[in-house]
Amino acid sequence: MKDQLTLLIRLQELDLQRNQQQEECQKLPERLQIAQQSLDRAKALLSQERALLDQLNKEKKEKEDQLRIIEEKTVKLKSKVTELKTNKEYQAYLCESAAAKSEQEKAEDVLLMVMEKGDSQRKTVASCEAMVASEEKMLVLEKSEVEEASRQLLESARNLDRGYMELQEKIEKGILEDYKRLASIRKGVVVVPLKGATCSGCHFSLPPQLVAEVKMGIKIHTCSYCHRILYAAG
């Protein structure tokens, strides 16, 4: 009977490994999802920053047009200087000319400011593009890693299954059925060692008679409380 218990413990180890593998397998799509979300976020930020750059480019064109109109006005004004006849007309011309100059300077300042903003925004866009490229690389890498992990898991699962089948055949049908029934009800371990005079599954104290019988190992015994299969460790 000790041999049967040893086999059962080994079977339980394989079951636990199988469960662990299934959990790992279920986590794989999540890894891809996280990488994809990261890329999506980077792309969204990039399109936002690009829109801002477009806006600044448009603004720059508007300010350039405005400056050109002012410059043309100044040229026209200068050409009038030869037509001036009176001192009064000359005074008025000087006034108009000073105003035009100030207007042009203001327009140049505004244009410069918009151009500086544009330069800075171009740098922001470039860094966002680099971020998207890096996230794309990460996703590709993650995909290949997930594929590899999934391939390894599958291979290992096949080996486990083979070992499981071989082991099952060596276990008495009744014992195996009991084990499977228990395993389907309880999560985790169902074949547990004695811990002193208690069941290490539910930690209840067991009757001395039962403890002694488990230690003898002549037949399979289960815990009176949690019904897990008991064995004497060591």
Catalog residues that contact Zn ion under the rule CB under 5 A. 199, 201-202, 223, 225-226
Round to whole Å and give the CA distance between 222 and 230. 5
Nearer to Zn ion, 93 or 225 (CB): 225
Cβ 21 to Zn ion shortest distance, Å: 27
Name the residue type at position 29.
P
CA angle 104, 108, 113 (to 5 degrees): 150
Nearer to Zn ion, 11 or 201 (CB): 201
Nearer to Zn ion, 165 or 233 (CB): 233
Cβ 189 to Zn ion shortest distance, Å: 11
Cβ 195 to Zn ion shortest distance, Å: 10
Nearer to Zn ion, 191 or 199 (CB): 199
Nearer to Zn ion, 32 or 210 (CB): 210
Radius of gyration of the chain (CA): 41
Cβ 226 to Zn ion shortest distance, Å: 3
Cβ 188 to Zn ion shortest distance, Å: 12
Beta strand pairing call for 198-199 and 229-231: unpaired
